[in-house]
Amino acid sequence: MRIARTLGVFVVALALEGCAAVGLAVVGGAAGVGAGAGVEHTMNGIVYKTFDASTNELRFATLKTLDHLAMPVTADEKSEKGWKLSATATERTIDIELQQLTDKTTRMRVVANDGQIFFKDASTATEIIRKTAETLQDDRDAAKNEPNRKRKQT
């Protein structure tokens, strides 16, 4: 019976070989869950995240992030549902949509096209979202501390 169980686990491991998502879910448990929390990936490399921020607040954080990542902005225009931004990186075009859900909630969609029409770079798209979340939090922290600073009277 023990041999059958061991053999069963071995067969399942072979069947799942190369499937990182399943392997991480089975073996990794909660390891690394926080790093990508709240980021949704699609099968075709498009990455989404909903932020508790207004469209303008998220737009400014996104622009600041793209500048920090040295990705030149090639388009920044208002759209029917919010804002559309584009940027470039080495042989990649980055398309970002900011969709206003409410006055204080915005959904970010990032597509990093890797040179050809069918190849997407989900890793770069995820990093843009992660860094934008950091920038947004840093800006909020700075805004909280700003009123506490007092100017010296001279």
In this prediction, residue 100 has a pLDDT band, given cuts at 50, 70 and 90, of very high
Burial grade of 62 (CB within 10 A; 0-12, 13-18, 19 or more): buried
Q: Which H or E element spans position 111?
A: strand 105-113
Mean pLDDT over 134-145 rounds to: 91
Lowest mean pLDDT among 27-31, 101-105, 128-132: 27-31
Name which residue leads in pLDDT, 67 or 154. Answer: 67
Residue that has been written with the tokens 């053999």 in this structure:
7
Whether residue 3 is predicted with pLDDT greater than 80 in this model: the reply is no
pTM: 0.69
Sequence-distant (≥ 6) Cβ neighbours of residue 107 within 8 angstroms: 48, 49, 50, 51, 98, 99, 101
On average, the pLDDT of the chain sits at: 79
pLDDT digits (tens, 9 = 90+) for 8-51: 555 555 455 544 444 333 333 333 333 445 777 666 789 999 99
- As given in the structure block, the two tokens for residue 48 are 């989404």
pLDDT digit string, tens, across residues 45-73: 899 999 999 999 999 999 999 999 999 99
